[in-house]
Amino acid sequence: MANIYTLRAFLFGEWSSDVRLDGKTVIITGANTGIGKETTRDLAKRGARIIMACRDIPKAEVTQREIIEDSGNQNIVIRKLDLSDTKSIREFAEIINNEEKQLHILINNAGVMMCPYSKTADGFEMQIGVNHLGHFLLTFLLIDLLKKSAPSRIILLSSMAHSWGTIKLDDINSEKSYHSRRVYGQSKLANILCTRSLGRRLKGALLKFLSPFLRMPPHRPCMYTKYPHIFLVFMFSNIYLNFSF
């Protein structure tokens, strides 16, 4: 995995910004590992108050201590959230709405990928249930607080894998047939379609699509032509669906 990031840095260069987030409250789902962990680290260094929304509390506590030590930001808290259980989602949202006076950024990052067939606590296929339906419900339950805190922003992590999927409304839980890759693609396509719809429904919303791994820098315009096989590495590159209101 480290080699992938090294290659990405070589091809596209490093991105940096000195923007501060002092006084801003941010929720990050799946904040204890992977992209969520590094997002937590970066935003903590910018002074944000971070709410780590995690299923595995012991692992989250390890990450919390590491990032507090690394960033010097003590304002990092953990709240239990299991996106495969709507009861947990509702309990989490109730705590946030009761305890937090403002919420400026919601980062819907957590997800599962190409796992063996299983179902959520509510009977949904796991990938569509966690990746799409769980975040859909979470966003809906927090939308009033986000509006009240405007200018605010919702960021949803999707994937180029959306191109693998189609929305099978006649078998949304993949009970007739299950192909883990295609079902993952369905969940990522659902993310994108939902976010586009939400952007239209929120009056004055600004919808942006950004693929940070696939964007070609001007100083290397021919890299894809010269090394097409290398770009297979970025098949899973992330798309941030990002709108503010």
The active-site residue out of 5, 117, 178, 184 is 184
- Active-site residue, 184 included: yes
Buried b or exposed e, range 61-97, using 16+ CB within 10 angstroms: eebbeebeeebebeebebbebbbbbbebbeebbeebe
As annotated, the active-site residues are 184
